Amino acid sequence: MKPLLITVLWALNILVDSGGHFAFKLAAIEPAADASTLEHWRHMLRRPWLWLGIFCFIAEFVLWLAFLSLVPLAEGVLLGMMSIVVIMVGGRIVFKEHFTRPRIIGMALIIAGVAIVGLG
């Protein structure tokens, strides 16, 4: 029962973390790129994406606390890093961001670095 609960909480954490960032990206690119800062914020505040993103991060706060009450912090942080990969892959699918070599190398180095800091 407990491993299942941990897995479900982990998946939900990754889902709201990545979902929140995709919602923010959708919110940020909606108005024309040449819109002024004020127009940009006005537009974002009127549309649902920004609010969906904020909702995701409020949900994540609760889900993360629940997850960490079941796994040690270092392990939790390592498992949470899955969202780096999910957001990279999602960025490619949803926003047509390319997998260039420097991006893949950069992502791998950052994941390794955060993992080592967390374990050390």
Partner 1 sequence: MSLKRFYLLGFVVLMVVDTFSQICFKMAATHAEPFRIEPEWVIRVVTNPWVYGAILGYIGAFVTWMTLLRHAPVGPSFAASHLEVVGVMIVSVPLFGEALSAWQMVGAALIVAGVVSLAIGETSEPHVQV
Whole-angstrom distance, CA of residue 76 vs CA of residue 6: 10
Q: Measured from the CB atom, is 4 or 32 closer to partner 1?
A: 32
Q: Segment contacting partner 1 (CB under 8 A): 8-16, 61-69, 103-111? A: 103-111
Contacts 24+ apart (CB under 8 A), 49-53: 49/23, 49/24, 50/23, 50/24, 52/19, 52/20, 52/23, 53/20, 53/21, 53/23, 53/24, 53/27
Kindly determine how many residues on this chain lie close enough to bind partner 1 according to the rule CB under 8 A. Answer: 45
Q: Segment contacting partner 1 (CB under 8 A): 7-15, 28-36, 58-66, 68-76? A: 28-36
Whole-angstrom distance, CA of residue 14 vs CA of residue 76: 11
Q: What is the largest CA-CA distance in the chain?
A: 52
By the rule CB under 8 A, 28 interacts with partner 1: yes
By the rule CB under 8 A, 34 interacts with partner 1: no
By the rule CB under 8 A, 69 interacts with partner 1: no
Q: Measured from the CB atom, is 8 or 62 closer to partner 1?
A: 62
By the rule CB under 8 A, 89 interacts with partner 1: yes
Q: Under DSSP, is residue 42 helix (H, G, I), strand (E, B) or coil?
A: helix
Binding positions for partner 1, rule: CB under 8 A: 21-22, 24-25, 27-29, 33, 37, 40, 44, 50, 83-84, 87-92, 95, 97-120
